[in-house]
Structure 1
């Protein structure tokens, strides 16, 4: 049986990228804007507030993990924030460690924060199918991973950065599949949490080259055509055929990037009757024909980060 989430993560090719240890004291405020990379945070000690633009503020506590796959602005503050909009200036301590807040007050918050790198050439599209903001709490497996990150960050042992990077990659995957049922925003996770919609999603992922129709997918979901269409759109955030096209093109880009299949082979694998019809659809979707895309990838100009 196809595993849409595993396939999505595999195509995203996430890595921890950059991270830093932040210790905070007293009252403070940090505002993040104009970043292009997904943000993550692991609370190792203490409590603070996080306000992501467009979402209600949340209080983060020890053991919590947050992931913002999309490039959204947000503000982090102490639990009791400063009365005005004054921004705190982090002080670099060396070796990837920073301090925030009055230097004469004891540290009461420790957090590991950083930016993910998504190596997929189609990362923007794939990220659009994930929730804009994930906050995970009280998940035993994730808590264990967070504790390991905390231990490793404090130990200062050889290979520390490599171990933390690998742990964070596992945390990224665990966070996506640990989202509590009913808490998901529209996207792939919410669709997979709906038994009827998930049946259709898995079939699309099992056979992306099949000539799927809405009535056929509705039958897979055991719903009427109209009920399926609306339920899929509300849970996943896009119409069924729009999702199928996006997934086919993501697969096509990955196959083209690998360079192990001809354009005709790629066309057949993602549901097109000929290389010419696929080329037209691909150019309309990606802005360049497949042959041009392959050349750009080889030249290294198309493989961009989020």
Structure 2
């Protein structure tokens, strides 16, 4: 009897991204106001009071109100303003009024209060993994997300033992909660849209659960209980890439993670990610990454420990 390994593709991808906190802060604002946050990586915000408008390139403006949460896995070309912005949408520089608290706009009573944060994705293949996620996630009225942002902010400001480990776990939970709360409301093709489709989700879970299996489009179509042509068209429409392209990308993401962390041989890693031979894997890896598996593993070792390239004297231990 075949043993089917059930996995959560979203949780796998978030774990591989290796999120770490950059900083969090409270921002208050008095109308009218506008700000263009710097592109410092993944951006998230919870609106605690008031309302605002958020604009992202190639996306319709989004109005947020108290209780809403927004996440941008890549925060390029972002503008946040009061509902009625200042003349010319003139951007302002936030002024720090107390440690960790910043203000936008005039000296009047604040009309908006939010907690914002940036995080970093430490994974070397972050761009590939982020491309599987929605560009913009908006979740309305989920108190759990606001609580997670507040917990992350409290932990970031504290100097308690294990701070970085706790923050990393909090950010993983925050990201997973945000993406799954968005559910099938994601407008763009990607992993969330695929997981929201019950038939495609079955195939995606098998891909993630058994990447070493020599999958074919026909076998994945059977997992989804669809005809081969219907499955192929539906997968490409909802996920944004063809099934075999998604499988190859996922195998490469796993291989890069294993080469960065594992002491297994290239041949063992090739087998674990679904390649019949080391040479076949090496050719595919070099085509995808631009370096051989051995060269890539060596570069990651050097990045972690530059001293590894320094020759040891005979007396060194």
Equivalent pairs counted in the alignment come to 297
Match of residue 117 from structure 1: 120
Q: Which aligned pairs between 1:149-188 and structure 2 lie closer than 5 A?
A: 152=154, 162=163, 165=167, 167-188=170-191
Give me the whole-angstrom Cα distance separating, in 2, the residues matched to 1:158 and 1:273.
49
1:148–1:299: structure 2 CA closer, same or farther, 3 Å change rule? closer
Q: CA deviation at 1:16?
A: 2.5
Give me the whole-angstrom Cα distance separating, in 2, the residues matched to 1:51 and 1:272.
44
**Unpaired segments of 5 or more residues in structure 2?**
1-5, 306-317
Q: CA deviation at 1:215?
A: 1.3
Q: CA deviation at 1:31?
A: 2.0
Match of residue 309 from structure 2: none
Give me the whole-angstrom Cα distance separating, in 2, the residues matched to 1:267 and 1:70.
31
Match of residue 41 from structure 1: 45
Match of residue 227 from structure 2: 224
Match of residue 56, structure 1, among 52, 55, 60: 60
Give me the whole-angstrom Cα distance separating, in 1, the residues matched to 2:196 and 2:67.
24
Q: CA deviation at 1:143?
A: 4.5
Give me the whole-angstrom Cα distance separating, in 1, the residues matched to 2:26 and 2:20.
17
Give me the whole-angstrom Cα distance separating, in 2, the residues matched to 1:179 and 1:70.
17
Match of residue 217 from structure 2: 214
Match of residue 235 from structure 1: 238
Give me the whole-angstrom Cα distance separating, in 2, the residues matched to 1:148 and 1:17.
15
Match of residue 288 from structure 2: 285
Q: Which moved more, 1:90-99 or 1:233-242?
A: 90-99
Over aligned residue pairs, what C-alpha RMSD do you find?
A: 2.5
Q: Is the contact between residue 214 and residue 240 of structure 1 (CA under 8 Å) also seen in structure 2?
A: yes
Match of residue 26, structure 1, among 18, 31, 48: 31
Report the secondary structure of 2:174's partner residue: helix
Match of residue 74 from structure 2: 70
Match of residue 14 from structure 1: 19
Could you tell me the TM-score, scaled by structure 2's length? Answer: 0.86
Give me the whole-angstrom Cα distance separating, in 1, the residues matched to 2:111 and 2:265.
57
Match of residue 272, structure 2, among 256, 263, 269: 269
Could you tell me the TM-score, scaled by structure 1's length? Answer: 0.89
Match of residue 255 from structure 2: 252
1:175–1:36: structure 2 CA closer, same or farther, 3 Å change rule? same
Give me the whole-angstrom Cα distance separating, in 2, the residues matched to 1:158 and 1:2.
35
Q: Is the contact between residue 24 and residue 109 of structure 1 (CA under 8 Å) also seen in structure 2?
A: yes
1:98–1:218: structure 2 CA closer, same or farther, 3 Å change rule? same
Q: CA deviation at 1:97?
A: 2.0
